[in-house]
Amino acid sequence: MRASLRQHKHPLPGSRTHGAACERGCVPARRVKLAAVYLSMTLLCLIFAVLIVRGVLALVTWVALGRCLWLFPFLLSEARRGAPSLCCRPTDQLG
């Protein structure tokens, strides 16, 4: 009788068999974390690749033609397009 009670005992939270019941019905937290890491690293590599291609294209056109051809010229601009700016601008209507 004692042997059957030992088999039905719940495992400790730190043990390896703790998440075994959850793997059937739900997504374990580790897989979600790994998916988030892979997604963020993919987006970061994509941003760097666009910046590198943009720089190489500008360099090649500058060497070949003497002028720069920028792909996405306002990509690193901090100014918002379409929204009014909050900074003060001099006006010509002062009189």
> Domain coordinates of the chain in residue numbers?
18-72
Give the pLDDT score at 95.
46
pLDDT digits (tens, 9 = 90+) for 19-61: 555 555 566 888 899 999 999 999 999 999 999 999 999 999 9
Give the pLDDT score at 60.
92
Distance between CA atoms of 50 and 72, rounded to whole angstroms?
9
Give the pLDDT score at 76.
82
Higher pLDDT pick, 91 / 44: 44
Distance between CA atoms of 84 and 23, rounded to whole angstroms?
51
pTM: 0.53
Does residue 3 surpass a pLDDT of 70? no
User: Is 85 in contact with 79 (CB distance < 8 Å)?
Assistant: yes
